[in-house]
Structures are given as C-alpha cells and as structure tokens.
C-alpha cells in the first residue's frame, strides 16, 4: 500500500536525494501512521473494555501515543525543510533529530506509565474476562504494527531518517508487547490464573528499551557522529580520481541534517605543479563534490615536494616504527627539509580514539627510534584525531 501511495502523492518519488522529495516521504508515512494507530487504539481499547485487562488497555493507549509521535514526526519533517536564515545559516535540518528525540521521550513515558500500572495490578489483581474477539483484534493489531515497522524501516533507510528508524523500532516493540498480552490472555483462559500485571511489566521493559534505543539513534547525530565509512571512501575516491591529486587526509564531514553536509579535506598536489594550475584543480574538485553530494565542500591544498632517496629511506623508517607500535596509528603529510643548521622530519600522525598508547607516548617513542637511527635529526610531529 505504501508504495502505491508514494507513487500517487510524491512527485519524482525515486529522487530521494532531493530534500523536497525526502520531506514528502516523511509527511506521507507519518500521515499513514496516524491513521493506522488511531484505528489500532479504537480496536484495542474496545478489547480492553471486554476483557478488563490493564495490559490490553495500556497497549491501546500506547498506540494513541504512537499517533501523537507521528504528528511530531510530520512537524519535524516540515520544520527541517525550512530554508536557511540569518540565525541558522546551515538550515534547520537537525530539527528532524530533535523530533526523533521527542518521540523517544514519549515512548519512555509510556513505558513508565505502563510499568507503574502493571505493578499496581500485581499488588491488587482484578478479575478478567476472556474473549476470542479480543484475541482476534490483538492478532490483527500485531500484523498491522508489523507492516508499519517494515515500511518505516525501509523508507527510513531509503531517506536516511533517524526519526523513521525510531518509529520502526517503536512499532517492533509494539508487536512484541501485544504478543505478550495475547499470551497472558490465553494463559488466563486455560488456567484461570491472571498474569496480566506481570505481562504488563515485561511489556513496559520492552517499551523502555525501545525508547532508550530511539533516543540514542536521534541524540548521536545531534552530538556529532563519525560519518558512514562508505560515504567517506566514496569522497576519497572522487577526489583521488583527478589527475594531479596524490593524496587525501584530514577529511571531516559536518552534518547539519539529512542532505546538509559540509565536507572539508586536505588534498596533496605536487609542489612543482604551479599555484594557478593547482588552484584551478582544487576548484574543479570542490564543485564536483558540491554537485555529487549536494554539500558544501572546502579543500585545503597541500603542496608535496618530490621525494629524494634520503626522504624515502626515512619515510620507510617511520612506517616501520608505526607498524611496530601498532594500535592503528597512521601517518600523512610526510616531508623532509635540509637546512644549513638543522635537518627536519615533519609529518602528522593520526591516533585512533581506542588506541592503547597515548598520543604523547607515541610521539616520544617515534622520536627516540629516529634519534637512535640518526643522531641530530629533528623530528616535528603533529597529532591528529581520527574523524572517520
């Protein structure tokens, strides 16, 4: 059904890189979610009245909160599409992440409410009424929620939306919680033992976990996360495909919402290329990145001197030292200068966040190894942190 609706209501629906198309996906799926969740609330609330089950009634109000979350999702997608202004020069794309965070808070509140009511039901149990009609309604609701989960997950991946991924996780938890409610009703029908309150506690735990996972999914891009490795690799390949660029390092991707990335990197070019020619090359690459990734791109040009036999020997030495140290430490921007008073080895090292050796210790170890190899050689090391 959702595919048909997308074809009908979303113009140019295959062009998901277009911000307007992406927003249309978010609004449409949110509207479908509102309609289905309201229907589920009505059905489950009716089933709860028949059975006098706190778990069924709580599950119904969980679906009502899901409808509210879908409204927040629609508002988030609409606001995220507002153009940049004086106060927000990078646009409003991150509002979508805020919407996902609000949705996760709603999920957590529902989990807390259900857990509290379920504990009270354990302390003061009430009689229940078994009904096959209620079972049928609940089974139908599981199938509907599974459908909502699948289409939210599929489109969330398609348009890279944290909000829709959070909605998919919420729907999956609803399937599990409603399944637990069905089991509780069947156990009561067979044994006349009410485990309604205990089932409610289990369902509450699932809902709370879903809320925490959804919060993490939305909070991570707000704090600033490392970009997708495939995205980074594709950017590197694009830059290096241009003749004259010999290396890429210090690549950073700043995210200001889906489709609003800022790319910055250092591109190595031969020092004898000539300033004007090198500048023209960098302009060409920047424009290609802007067009290909719909992002703002800034490239710093690093001229690289042709390596001599001496510099190649010391480059190999540094690479061996780094290999012996391990911990994933890498090097870039290597160069050697021969002055009248000093000979310098100058390079940057990248120390991963999970390295067992500190940056200071790595610098000291490298410097000592070089000094042991050739006394009087000055080592200048700049330490970078891994950004991708």
CA distance 295 to 281: 18
Question: Is the pLDDT assigned to residue 343 strictly greater than 60?
Answer: yes
pLDDT computed for residue 341 by the predictor: 63
User: 219 and 236 share a domain?
Assistant: no
Percent of the chain with pLDDT over 70: 96
Based on the fold, state whether residues 182 and 249 are members of the same structural domain.
no
- pLDDT tens profile 221-280: 888 777 878 888 899 899 999 998 988 888 888 888 766 788 999 888 887 888 889 899
As a whole number, mean pLDDT of residues 33-41 equals 89
Q: pTM for the complete prediction?
A: 0.64
| C-alpha torsion 236→237→239→244, nearest 10 | 120
Q: Cα separations (Å) of 76 from 45, 215, 220, 362?
A: 29, 15, 17, 46
CA nearest 182: which of 51, 9, 340, 65? 51
Residue 272 is classified by DSSP as G
For residue 297, give the CATH number of its domain. Answer: 3.30.70.1350
CA angle 75, 78, 80 (to 5 degrees): 105
Q: Is residue 142's pLDDT more than 70? A: yes
- Of 8-17, 109-118, 133-142, the range with the lowest mean pLDDT is 8-17
Find the range with the poorest average confidence among 104-113, 160-169, 230-239, 279-288: 160-169
- Helices 275-293, 229-240: crossing angle, 10 deg rounding: 140
Q: Which domain holds residue 343?
A: 309-385
Highest mean pLDDT among 46-55, 147-156, 196-205: 147-156
Cα separation of 325 and 370, whole Å? 14
Mean pLDDT within 313-342: 79
Structure token digits, residue 244? 């004259």
CATH of the domain at 104: 1.20.1510.10
Please give the sequence-ordered ranges of beta strands (E in DSSP) within 246-376, or none if there are none: 247-255, 261-270, 296-304, 330-338, 343-351
Q: Are 298 and 366 in the same domain?
A: no
Same domain assignment for residues 154 and 195 = yes
Contacts of 225 (CB under 8 A, 6+ apart): 255
- Judgement on whether residues 52 and 177 belong to the same structural domain of the protein: yes
Is 170 in the same domain as 285?
no
Residue after which a domain boundary falls, among 247, 271, 304: 304
Whether 71 shows a pLDDT value over 60: the answer reads yes
Which of 61, 102, 58 has the alpha carbon at shortest distance from 79?
Answer: 102
pLDDT of residue 288: 92
Q: How many domains does the chain have?
A: 3
Report pLDDT for 283. Answer: 93
By mean pLDDT, which of 55-59, 122-126, 151-155, 320-324 is the weakest?
A: 55-59
Residues in a beta bridge with 377: 343
User: Where does the pLDDT of residue 316 fall: very low under 50, low under 70, confident under 90, or very high at 90 and above?
Assistant: confident
In residues, how long is the chain? 388
Same domain? For 74 and 187 the reply is yes
Q: Are residues 150 and 279 in the same domain?
A: no
Which of these three, 244, 269, 304, is where a domain ends? 304
User: If you average pLDDT over residues 51-74, what whole number do you get?
Assistant: 76
Q: Residue 269 pairs with which residues in a beta bridge?
A: 303
Which are the contacts of 17, defined by CB distance < 8 A and separation ≥ 6?
Answer: 259, 294
| 340/267 same-domain check | no
| 137 and 39 inside one domain | yes
Residue 272, C-beta contacts closer than 8 angstroms, at least 6 positions apart: 306
Tell me how crowded residue 62 is: count the other CB atoms within 10 A of its CB. Answer: 27
Task: Give the domain-ending residue among 271, 304, 337.
Answer: 304
Q: Which of 344, 341, 339, 259 is nearest to 294 (CA)?
A: 259
| pLDDT exceeds 80 at position 388 | no
Q: Over the chain, what is the mean pLDDT?
A: 81
Distance CA 157, CA 280 (A): 37
Nearest to residue 322, comparing CAs of 266, 381, 387?
381
Same domain, yes or no, for 368 and 263? no
Q: Which residues contact 266 (CB under 8 A, 6 or more apart)?
A: 248, 249, 250, 251, 299, 300, 301, 302, 333
Name the maximum alpha-carbon separation found in the chain: 96
194 and 119 assigned to the same domain = yes
Q: Tell me the C-alpha distance between 352 and 327, whole Å.
A: 8
């Amino acid at each position: 059904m959702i595919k048909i609706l997308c074809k009908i209501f979303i113009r140019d629906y295959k062009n998901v890189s277009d911000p307007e198309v992406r927003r249309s996906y978010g609004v449409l799926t949110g509207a479908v979610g509102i309609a289905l969740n309201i229907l589920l609330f009505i059905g489950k609330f009716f089933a709860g009245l028949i059975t006098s089950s706190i778990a069924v009634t709580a599950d119904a109000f969980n679906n009502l909160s899901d409808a509210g979350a879908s409204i927040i999702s629609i508002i988030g997608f609409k606001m995220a599409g507002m153009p940049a202004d004086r106060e927000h020069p990078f646009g409003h794309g991150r509002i979508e992440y805020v919407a996902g965070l609000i949705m996760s808070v709603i999920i957590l509140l529902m989990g807390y409410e259900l857990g509290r009511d379920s504990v009270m039901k354990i302390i003061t149990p009430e009689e229940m009424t078994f009904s096959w009609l209620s079972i049928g309604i609940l089974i139908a609701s599981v199938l509907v929620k599974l459908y909502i989960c699948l289409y939210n997950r599929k489109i969330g991946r398609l348009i890279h939306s944290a909000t829709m991924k959070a909605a998919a996780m919420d729907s999956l938890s609803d399937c599990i919680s409603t399944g637990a409610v069905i089991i509780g009703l069947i156990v009561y029908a067979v044994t006349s033992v009410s485990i309604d309150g205990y089932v409610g506690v289990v369902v509450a735990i699932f809902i709370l976990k879903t809320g925490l996972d959804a919060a993490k999914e939305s909070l991570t891009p707000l704090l600033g996360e490392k970009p997708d490795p495939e995205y980074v690799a594709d950017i590197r390949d694009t830059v290096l495909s241009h003749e004259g660029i010999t290396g890429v390092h210090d690549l950073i991707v700043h995210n200001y919402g889906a489709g609003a990335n800022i790319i910055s990197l250092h591109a190595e070019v031969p020092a004898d290329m000539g300033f004007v020619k090198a500048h023209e090359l960098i302009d060409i690459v920047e424009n290609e990145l802007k067009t290909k990734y719909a992002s703002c791109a800034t490239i710093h040009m690093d001229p690289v001197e042709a390596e001599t036999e001496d510099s190649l020997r010391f480059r190999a030495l540094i690479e061996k030292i780094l290999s012996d140290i391990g911990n994933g430490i890498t090097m870039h921007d290597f160069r050697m200068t021969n002055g009248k008073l000093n000979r310098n080895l100058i390079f940057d090292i990248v120390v991963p966040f999970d390295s067992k050796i500190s940056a200071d210790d790595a610098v000291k170890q490298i410097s000592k190894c070089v000094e042991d190899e050739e006394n009087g050689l000055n080592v200048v090391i700049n330490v970078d942190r891994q950004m991708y």
